[in-house]
Chain A
Amino acid sequence: MSRGTTVEKVVDERVYEVHELTRVEGEGSLKLRVRDGEVIEARLGIFETPRYFEQLVVGRTPDEVIDMVARICGICPVAYQMSAVHGFEDLFGVRIDPQSRALRRLLYCGEWIESHSLHIFFLHAPDFLGYESGITMAADHRPLVEQALKLKKAGNHLIKILGGRPIHPVSVRVGGWSRAPRVSELKEHRPALEEALAFAQETVRVVSGFTMPAFAREPRLVSLRHAGEYPFNDGRIVSSDGVDLPPTAWRDAFEEFQVEGTNALHARSLDGKGVYLLGPAARVVLAGEQLHPLAKEALAASGYAEMIRTNIYASIVARAVELVHACAEALDIIDVYRAPSEPLVAWQSRPGVAAWATEAPRGLLFHRYEVDESGRIRHAQIVPPTSQNQAAIEADLVVAAKQVLDLPHAEATLRLEQMIRSYDPCISCATHFLDLRVEEA
């Protein structure tokens, strides 16, 4: 360089920003800043107002908590009920009737059916098919949308039969059920579920035909795994690299922490290995051996069994495979159902810690309650899957950035949104924490 000459380096900085993400549940934003090909900021912003559920349940009884936490989400209320009720029953030493246990799996099947069908067809498929929404997609793909609505309805109706209403069910109780359905009620729903199963199988074929954007990151996967069944309510917390814990012990391996700029807590593992992925892809990889035979068959035929592990966009296939599982298992449960001899077993409260993890549609959902001597909640911690997945989403944004730099800006931004939607984030679930500290001088 000769003296007196100034060379200005031309910086290529690109910002991809979506102030209000659409086709996700709740209110969040995306910001990705890339300078000279390097990501310098990748942020899933969650600005939805905190909802304070962990404080609202303090002073309440376990059965009240079960109904209250269902209100955290209109899509996955069952998950909140299941994690709470299993935690309380574990603490109180309650053994429920085996038929009650089967009914709880059936209730979860209903939730997975309605939640997965909502996401696949109305939130995610428009990305792959080139529509801005499920509504515009309906004009060109009417049979698909009609079938999707039927599928969702089949799931919601199952929840209604078991829980009294299609959203925010009210019959789950510590010790079983306030009311168990009659055999005839479930049998009447069988034809709709048979149709749902057939369409779920078709759904795997449809989404397997979607063009998946290029993407490769081998994430650390975490889910429940059970030796004899696909995980809903029971099993051990496992990871793709050796974590193996009872469902009560999430805090032995993971923790929540606050990150500036988001109203949802993040989560990380205590071993310093960083981010991890929850949800259908994690479950299919870690617990795929326990999928229903029809779901296994659908997964094998999809050709995506391996790609699900590394390409987050392909999680739509994992979700569809789980749709098949939920429909098939629901039919199996109904076929052998007989009303529980004791729908609600007696129980006694005892002080201590009630903790449990179950598998919400979007992944592992952990609850922990400290119960006092009077049987009321002293402290609550609820760790939803979306808050745990936030860090993985941001890590994937970094990877995805490299794939979109050559695309026109609008197309690149849309692709990044699509990637976030692959997680099926439920932002409203993630923003219920309250960490209030009053410091007095």
Chain B
Amino acid sequence: MNPRLPIFVCGDPARGDDAAGFAAVDLVADDLRERAEIVPAGQLDILLLMDLPVDAPCVVVDAVAGLRPGEIWVRPLAALVDRARTLEAAGRAPDLRSSHELPLEQVLALAATLRDAPPVGTFVGIGGGCFEAGTPLTAAVAAALPEFAAAIVAAVDACHGGTHEVGAITAAEAVPC
């Protein structure tokens, strides 16, 4: 068991609900200090994943478009890889927000390709309503932060306990951003 499980916090603190991950881990930073390492990632970098041993779990936290604002969305990282590959096989790349970054699912899929296995761990997301620069969290997301933070803690504990979220997702379900 990794005593300090990495939590990769994605998003942009200056872009509305994209700051939700950062706000949520702030709420539980003291609680997690002994058993998790909070890594502000912004965009998930393949090198962060490649630095982990193949079977070492991690938690990835981000806001998600396509859900009701404030809705909590927890999925295994492997399911995100599956979706990226399904889309690719269908000739559709995962939704691209910007040419400056690789979508989170493609980063996970690349790590899976290079490792012969998908990254181990859990994605914890929250539906966002507004991602405009300079805007605050929307009321719905701000209100759901305690629940979001609790889901992050639960994911960390599940990883430490050797159990991860299971299940699949559909192509159109939601898009981490």
Contact = CB atoms under 8 A, between A and B. Distances in A.
Given A26-B99, A135-B106, A145 B114 contact: yes
Contact of A138 (B47, B99, B100, B114): B114
A428 B47 contact: no
A271 B113 CA distance: 52
A358 B114 CA distance: 37
Interface string B113-132: 11000000000000000000
A152 B100 contact: no
Interface string B94-124: 0000011010001001100110000000000
B50 interface: yes
B46 interface: yes
Contacts of B114: 138, 142, 145-146, 149
A429 to B, nearest CB: 12
Interface in A129-173: 134-135, 138-139, 142, 145-146, 149, 152-153, 156
B158 to A, nearest CB: 29
Contact of B100 (A20, A145, A428): A428
A189 to B, nearest CB: 15
A138 B116 CA distance: 11
B93 to A, nearest CB: 9
Contacts of A146: 50, 114
Contacts of B47: 149, 152-153, 156
B81 to A, nearest CB: 12
How would you classify the secondary structure of chain A's contact residues: helix, strand, loop or mixed? helix
A74 interface: yes
How would you classify the secondary structure of chain B's contact residues: helix, strand, loop or mixed? helix
A27 interface: yes
A244 interface: no
A135 B100 contact: no
A25 B98 CA distance: 10
Contacts of A149: 46-47, 50, 114
Contacts of B109: 135
A139 B99 CA distance: 22
B170 to A, nearest CB: 22
Interface residues of B, number: 11
Contacts of A142: 113-114
Contacts of B46: 149
A27 B106 contact: no
A20 B96 CA distance: 12
Contact of A27 (B50, B99, B113): B99
A20 B99 CA distance: 9
Contacts of B100: 25-26, 74, 428
Contact of B113 (A22, A135, A152, A156): A135
Interface in A264-323: none
A138 B113 contact: yes
Contacts of A22: 99
Contacts of B110: 134-135, 138
B56 to A, nearest CB: 17
Contacts of A24: 99
A26 B100 CA distance: 6
A135 B85 CA distance: 11
A145 B106 CA distance: 15
Interface in A55-75: 74
Given A25-B100, A26-B99, A428-B100, A139 B113 contact: yes
A196 to B, nearest CB: 14
B167 to A, nearest CB: 25
A20 B100 CA distance: 13
Contacts of A153: 47
Contacts of A138: 110, 113-114
A149 B51 CA distance: 11
A74 B43 CA distance: 12
Nearest to A138: B113
B142 to A, nearest CB: 28
A152 B50 CA distance: 12
A388 to B, nearest CB: 21
B5 to A, nearest CB: 22
A152 B47 CA distance: 9
Nearest to A427: B99
A142 B99 CA distance: 24
A149 B109 CA distance: 15
A101 B109 CA distance: 42
A22 B98 CA distance: 11
Q: By CB atoms of chain B within 10 A, which of A24, A135, A139, A156 has the most?
A: A135
7 contacts: A20-B99, A135-B109, A135-B113, A145-B114, A149-B46, A149-B50, A156-B47
Closest 9 CB pairs of A and B: A138-B113, A135-B110, A153-B47, A139-B113, A27-B99, A146-B114, A138-B114, A142-B114, A138-B110
Interface of B: 46-47, 50, 99-100, 102, 106, 109-110, 113-114
Given A20-B99, A26-B100, A152-B47, 19 more contacts: A22-B99, A24-B99, A25-B99, A27-B99, A74-B100, A135-B102, A135-B109, A135-B110, A138-B114, A139-B113, A142-B113, A142-B114, A145-B114, A146-B50, A146-B114, A149-B46, A149-B50, A156-B47, A428-B100
